Amino acid sequence: MLKPTSQPCLRNQDPIFQKLQHAFSQPGDVLELACGTAQHAVYFAQRLSHLTWQPTDLEASLSGALLWIEEANLKNLLPPKNLDVCQQHWNLPRYDYVYSANLVHFVSMDTVCSMFTGIQKSLKKEGVLALYGPYNNQGFTSDGNASLDNWLKQDINPEAGIKELSVIIELAQQHNFQLQENHILPANNHFLIFKSI
């Protein structure tokens, strides 16, 4: 089996890293949601040796992710775990950090709500949550995002789609997360940093 490769990962991993290294600056354990190919996990774990990185995703993605992780052979990068963010009980320890890229717009709003419930239970007090991806600001912020939203609804999930930033921030607040930073990265993507309060 060949390693799966995500071109968006290759394009966005360094811009994300430039912000992530400041947000995740203290030693600790990271839970990654929807790791996909695990390219981000490998890239960040190589450069942030003070972190122990735990990738997770649905069962179907784990074999491809494991190929990247085994080849990297990093002491601070753990084998991927099966995790469905819709599950009521994640059965995981508590983490210092939670990271996820390009999950929120791929799933329904109900799934995003379940995700925040799980993160609230899994993140330590004063822990840091980092979310990367596109968000609307009273509507689409680019023609590209409008096309992406249409593709998601037609080809992935009718209930998927780009979410309003204000809705996500309010949902985070309901789960005791306060927005600390909002970085605009290339291709109209946001890198949101929340703190557990």
Tens digit of each residue's pLDDT (9 = 90 or more) over 66-97: 999 999 999 999 999 999 999 989 999 999 99
pTM of structure: 0.96
Structure tokens at 110: 């109900």
pLDDT of residue 11: 87
Domains of the chain, earliest start first: 15-56+71-163+183-196 (3.40.50.150)
Q: What mean pLDDT is predicted for residues 12-17?
A: 95
- pLDDT over 80 at 20, yes or no: yes
Mean of pLDDT values over 94-105: 97
Give 78's contacts (C-beta < 8 A, 6+ positions apart). 52, 53, 54, 55, 69
